[in-house]
């Protein structure tokens, strides 16, 4: 999974201008993030039509604020530079919940 460099919302939208992306917002210190992280390779494999990008919340705190991401782990889906859907809250997420979210898109 690609690790997102520090950037703002405009730079992010330019980066995601073409294609389908899932942004995975996380942090090393987050126990709920560590809970779902081991399932991410399987999720990536199952949803291979998406490019997955990990966003370190601490590295990109301003971006998280611009995107209204105040809870982690969280997921935002982009297609051709536009946000399509989001699974953003402060709750722990299971592999099944993430898969169901992506299936519904």
Q: Active-site residues: which are they? A: 30, 33
Inter-residue contact 25 to 64 (CB < 8 Å): yes
Task: At 17, give phi and psi (nearest 5°).
Answer: -60, -30
């Amino acid at each position: 999974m690609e690790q997102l460099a520090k950037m703002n919302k405009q730079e992010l939208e330019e980066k995601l201008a073409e294609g389908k992306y899932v942004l995975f917002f996380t942090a090393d210190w987050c126990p709920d993030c560590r809970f779902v992280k081991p399932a991410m390779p399987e999720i990536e494999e199952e949803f291979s039509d998406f490019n997955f990008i990990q966003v370190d919340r601490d590295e990109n705190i301003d971006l998280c604020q611009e995107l209204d991401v105040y809870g982690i782990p969280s997921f935002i889906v982009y297609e051709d530079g536009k946000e399509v859907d989001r699974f953003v809250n402060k709750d722990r997420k299971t592999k099944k919940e993430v898969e169901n979210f992506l299936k519904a898109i």
